[in-house]
Amino acid sequence: MILDTDFLIALDGGDPDAEDAARDLEARDVPIHVPTIVVQKLYVAVGLGAEGRENAWKFESLLANSPVVPLDDRIARRVGVIEGEHIASDRLPDLGVADAVVAATALQFNEPVVTNDVSDFETVDGLDVVAP
């Protein structure tokens, strides 16, 4: 499973559905991956907030058991194609770089995206999306 920022924020915030989903994934020993862009998006709160150190510790704890997937050239190519298809389309919404990276990572690993905001990803062809 590829974890999206919205899911991790919900998990950090104590959302019961996110906590149940995390426990279920752990109980089933499902492989978990976090794209590098998700780490970057989380760490914006470290730079913005007055409690930067506390937020950093919190995020490190949240990510401790989840391998981070680097953005390599294969994923970057998929990102470009996905984002380009959405920009060129009259029917698809603009996806944005961060969500395109998450989607491309999921497609590269052939894993679903776990997110609390399904609408961000539901228009990506071939992508499975799981909501807690």
Question: What's the mean per-residue pLDDT of the chain?
Answer: 91
Please report the pLDDT score of residue 14 as a whole number.
92
* pLDDT, tens digit, 9 for 90 and up, residues 84-132: 999 999 998 888 899 999 999 999 999 999 999 898 899 999 999 999 8
Report residue 51's pLDDT band, with 50, 70 and 90 as the boundaries.
Answer: confident
CATH class of domain segment(s) 2-122: alpha beta
Q: Are 130 and 28 in contact (CB under 8 A)?
A: no
For residue 35, give every residue at least 6 positions away whose Cβ sits within 8 Å of its Cβ, in sequence order, or none.
Answer: 2, 68, 69, 71, 101, 102, 105
- Domain definitions of the chain by residue range: 2-122
For the chain, the residue count is 132
Q: What angle do CA 118, 1, 99 make, to 5 degrees?
A: 45
Half-sphere exposure of 105 toward its Cβ, with a 13 Å CA cutoff? 25
